[in-house]
Structure 1
Amino acid sequence: MVSAGMVCSTRPPSGSSSPSSSSTALHRASISRPMPSSGFNQPSSRSSMSSEPFRARRQRVLNRLGDGVLVLPTAPVRLRNGDVPHAFRPGSDFHYLTGFDEPEAVLVATRSSAREHHAILFLRPREPDREIWDGPRLGPRRAVKQLGFDEAYPMASLYERLEGILGKTKRLFYTLGADGLMDRSLERVFERLAVADYRGNPSAHPVIEDPGPRVATERLVKDRDGIKALDRAAVLSAAGHRRAMAFARPGIMEYELQAEVEATFRRLGSRRNGYESIVASGKNACVLHYVANDRKMRRGELVLLDAGAELDMYTADITRTFPVSGTFSEPQAEIYRIVLRAQKAALRAVSPGRLWNAPHQAAIRATIDGLRALGLLKGQRKRLIAKEAHRRWFMHGTSHWLGMDVHDAGGYIEPDGKPRRLRAGMVLTVEPGLYFSPRDRSVPERYRGIGVRIEDDVLVTRSGRRVLTEAVPKELSEVERLCQGQEA
């Protein structure tokens, strides 16, 4: 999925203002149709990984942060419409450090040494009456035993206990502005701490630092468990794309093809997509983030499918473009071959020590060469690159980080202002494309309305690269065979 630009509602301490009306609605039970307290529970409240990887991740992040207290809430629950909540997904940073899936939870952690830390999880208590409606909760006691936390307490005690914890520290690692209710509640904690120690002329609050950039730096290089999860997500996603190629035919709606892809994801164990599926047939393929998926697919057209399954909170991100009728027309094949050559050139540019944008530069060179060969661009390659002549038809970057988020955490620029260099363990997409608007009079009519993108997920290894999504065919003849019902 091309990138356009290359936390939790918590209970305030007693005496503070009440939550917003939407937050209140989430805690209100109706006699006729009880409202889930925070969105319906997922089938499990913890990752399939053991607790040890999460403890190791917490230690590495805390070592980056240094002395102080980390306070990290999960994502908030949000209402979709009326009293219906969006399906809950934990915040990625929170889950990366906890492995905990339930809503209304906060991690509080401090480092005791370079090898030891103390982690406390605040979460919803067990409530049998509530669990009849929403499903089982883990509860504090089992959180310690099953998730490896040092302590766990009900959410209602968060701010009272934070007073004792923050009263002993001069640094707080917390992201201001992500959760207004929690920001205001922490302000009241700071006020009470200052009043209690007024004779000491204390600071109004500890030094507050955003932990996000350091968590992102840690997430950028995947650990062994993260790579395993990405491998599994890639396998599921590849199966969905192969199914789509075999299923596509003239006369079906784009959303029917979407249903086949996502049903494959679900059957193989993915509970949700990593992002909204793009099923763009005909001229819709020229809209980069087209998600309406409501057009009837016609004979002789291409369909661009950009879809990825999420598994264990990690997502794949695959794009393939293939013929609805099973065979590329000659103009379609000409454009497709340019994009495929560009993608292969970009893949060869992925290796440790190279700049992260080296794949993009390689893709541009190959794309311009292909457009020159078709007569769509004229002039010397070097001059065309300097003029960015490709951007009329290839207007996005070639790569973005991939992991727990489809456009994953981690900066692209080093502190010295230079592009980041690739390291073993990083995962990025490689996805060049060409898009010729149906209204583009600068190209021959036979190319108008053609949009092609080819995207794979790539792990940087010590010796080079490994394409995680190579199970989905992309050679022109292999794509046609699969679309015609033959095994590629």
Structure 2
Amino acid sequence: MSTESTDTSQISTDDRDAGKDLASRGDSRSQRPTNAAFRDFIASGWDETVPDADRREAADFTPARRDALVQRLPGTRLVLPAGVLKVRSNDTDYPFRPDTAFAYYAGLGTDEEPDSVLVIEPSAEDAHRAQATYFFRPRAGFDTSEFYADSRYGEMWVGRRPTLDEASQRLGVEVRHIDELRDHLAKDIGAQLSLSIMPGVDATVEAMVQEIRAQNGLPGGDDAAAQHAGLKEAASEQRLVKDEYEIGQMRVAVDATIRGFEDVIRNLSAAVDHARGERVIEGVFARTARADGNGVGYDTIAAAGDHACTLHWTRNDGAVQADELVLIDAGVEVDSLYTADVTRTLPVAGTFSPVQRRVYEAVLEAADAAFAVARPGLRFRELHAAAMEVLAGRLEQWGVLPGTAAESLAPEGQWHRRWMPHGTSHHLGMDVHDCAQARREMYLDAELEPGMVFTIEPGLYFKENDLLVPEELRGIGVRIEDDVLVTADGVENLSAAAPRRVQDVERWIASLRQ
């Protein structure tokens, strides 16, 4: 980075929240003027017009989400922090991504808005309805040193934050300065109104909540932790069924992801020509994800050859050989923070070899089996069972199981899981593994409902040092993953535009390489 960092000597404690002290961020090398004439000059001559802000589309859906949350957790003031900036190295931060629960109930996305907090509580008029108040650090004035001297929050460094009025227009809720948070959280807390926070997001706000609870006679320790965990569980389970807005955003994310795969295919030759061709694939997809969305929804897996047998291979530093398969597991996260999660395993040469095709078609058959049973009323775990029945049967045919497929499928067997160690499906949404804090009875043991979005992604992975499989299979890893929406009478494959069948994949590659 070529620019100077913060001149902290000119930032007063009034310009910055006391919990976000930046005293060590570059103060030993600042060369910025500190005289009064400079401060007066840099504060003058700016157009202070603030245009009206557009109401977010999500703001039409967040009130119902918040109402459902207060009905699930009655008599409680719920504190949902956005999270804080995290240091990457010295005086540089990672790109900010708000906490998922905060974004879901606030309607914000992208990098909005570090250090802010959404508070949800029962309405004074109707305890079944939610009242929401958003607390954040608004735009600083041109006459503050933060404007020009704070590299973490200053407008000259990171861009303009919205005003209180702009934030209210965007979200459709009451908005206050973050300095008012403590007084609001403490008001009326006691026997009639409890206080709970989404844990593990913002340590400063969490400590504030703990202190207020103690001051007002609410239990601490394990009892408080259990209450906070209940908020996390409720927020996770509420996202199991997507609303109309969410489904629309998932479609946008999937469409952008397929464009990313197409860009990758166009650049497969460049990947072969580079010593770290997997990084070429990763970079090409990241370019599309960043241009068409907020970025990638998770670290891209670009795994060629035997690397495809490492389930979460994200180092992506290997070569891509023309005679190999390359497994690409990638998803675009759009500005609303909804992400796709699609995997395609592609023959780098453009056509599958006979043994590659044999493995690929076994995985495809397993995926098709899961699709065939998917419908409202089916239990989520039965998707996995349908896929495993196919894979166990194929592995028995190939002579790699130590017994029959039926014996392997029994609880005391499970030998086929050596080559398919992960689950066939997971929920998908704002998090790539969405709703992960939901209870088992609400996740694995739950019946599918219209509006659920999840993946179907069986695979087979034969590591090159696996002596229990024929040599011709070693070093081949295949996964096929699609994003699935449950409808009233079945399911819709949201990622169907990315070809899955052997001949279609080969035609796809040929057409994009021309």
Do the structures match in fold with TM over 0.5? yes
Please name the residue that 2:494 is paired with: 468
Partners of 1:55 and 1:148 within 8 A in 2? no
Contact 1:106 1:123 in 2 (8 A): yes
What is the alpha-carbon distance in structure 1 between the residues aligned to residue 267 and residue 247 of structure 2?
30
- 1:440 aligned to which of 449, 466, 478: 466
Distance 1:169 1:297, change over 3 A: same
Q: 2:138 aligns with which of 101, 125, 135?
A: 125
Q: 2: CA distance between counterparts of 1:357 and 1:349?
A: 11
Secondary structure, aligned partner of 2:195? strand
Cα deviation, residue 50, structure 1: 4.2
Give 3-state SS (helix, strand or coil) of 1:398's partner: coil
Match of 2:120 in 1: 109
Which residues of structure 1 form unaligned runs of 5+? 1-12, 35-44, 195-201
Tell me the equivalent position of 1:231: 251
SS in 1 for 2:472: helix
* Deviation, structure 1 residue 325: 1.1
AA at the equivalent of 1:170? L
SS in 2 for 1:133: helix
Secondary structure of 1:322 counterpart: strand
Residue in structure 1 matched with residue 441 of structure 2 by the alignment: 414
Alignment of structure 1 residues 329-348 onto 2, 5 Å? 329-348=353-372
Between the aligned partners of 2:403 and 2:303, the Cα distance in structure 1 is 33
User: Percentage identity across aligned positions?
Assistant: 35
For the 8 Å contact 2:55–2:169, the answer to whether it is kept is no
SS at match of 1:332: helix
Aligned to 2:9: none
CA distance, structure 1, for counterparts of residue 481 and residue 444 of structure 2: 26
- Asked if structure 1 preserves the Cα contact closer than 8 Å seen for 2:366 and 2:387, the reply is yes
Structure 2 match to 1:144: 168
Distance 1:295 1:375, change over 3 A: same
* Corresponding residue of 1:6: none
| Residue 178 (structure 1) shift | 4.3
Contact 1:401 1:427 in 2 (8 A): yes
Query: Against the structure 1 CA distance between its residues 486 and 102, is the aligned structure 2 distance closer, same or farther, given a 3 Å change threshold?
Result: closer
The TM-score, its normalising length taken from structure 1, stands at 0.85
CA separation in 2, counterparts of 1:46 and 1:25? 38
1:59–1:114 CA contact under 8 A, matched in 2 = no
Deviation at 1:168, TM superposition (A): 7.8
Letter in 2 for 1:394: M
**Pairing 1:370–2:381 present:** no
Instruction: Report the AA paired with residue 238 of structure 2.
Output: E
Matched, 1:349 2:349: no
CA contact (8 A) 1:318 1:457 kept: yes
* Residues 213-224 of structure 1 mapped to structure 2, 5 A cutoff: 213-224=233-244
Give the counterpart of 2:306 among 283, 288, 306. Answer: 283
Q: Structure 2 unaligned runs (5+)? A: 1-12, 34-52, 142-146, 148-153
Once the two structures are TM-superposed, the CA of residue 240 in structure 1 deviates from its matched residue by 1.1
Higher relative contact order (CA 8 A, sep 6+): 1
Q: Identify which range, 438-447 or 208-217, moves more after superposition.
A: 208-217
Which whole-Å CA distance do the structure 2 matches of 1:138 and 1:29 have between them? 31
> Is 445-454 or 473-482 further displaced after alignment?
473-482
How far residue 486 of structure 1 moved from its aligned partner, in angstroms, is 5.4
Distance in 2 between residues matched to 1:474 and 1:74, nearest whole Å: 38
Partners of 2:19 and 2:75 in 1: CA distance = 32
The number of aligned residues is 452
Question: Residue in 2 aligned with 1:398?
Answer: 424
2:7 is matched with none
Aligned match of 1:189: 212
Residue 433 of structure 1 and its aligned partner are, at CA, apart by 0.5
Q: How far, CA to CA, are the matches of 2:246 and 2:113 in structure 1? A: 20
1:484 match: secondary structure: helix
| Corresponding residue of 2:263 | 243
Q: How does 1:375-386 map to 2 (within 5 A)?
A: 375-377=399-401, 379-386=403-410
2:181 aligned with 1:158, yes or no? yes
Provide closer, same or farther for how the CA distance between residues 26 and 76 of structure 1 changes in structure 2, counting only shifts above 3 A. Answer: farther
Counterpart amino acid of 1:288? L
- Counterpart residue identity of residue 413, structure 1: R
After superposition, give the CA deviation of every residue in 1:51-79 in whole Å (9 maximum; x if it has no partner).
22112211111121112211111122110
Aligned partner of 1:86 among 84, 94, 112? 94
Deviates more, 1:324-333 or 1:140-149: 140-149
Aligned residues of 1:79 and 1:85 also touching (Cα < 8 A): yes
TM-score of the aligned structures, taking structure 2 as reference length: 0.81
Distance 1:28 1:190 in 2: 38
Q: How many angstroms does 1:184 deviate by?
A: 2.5
Structure 1 residue 138: Cα displacement = 1.5
Cross-structure match for 2:144? none
Shift in alpha-carbon separation, 1:433–1:114, aligned structure 2, 3 A: same
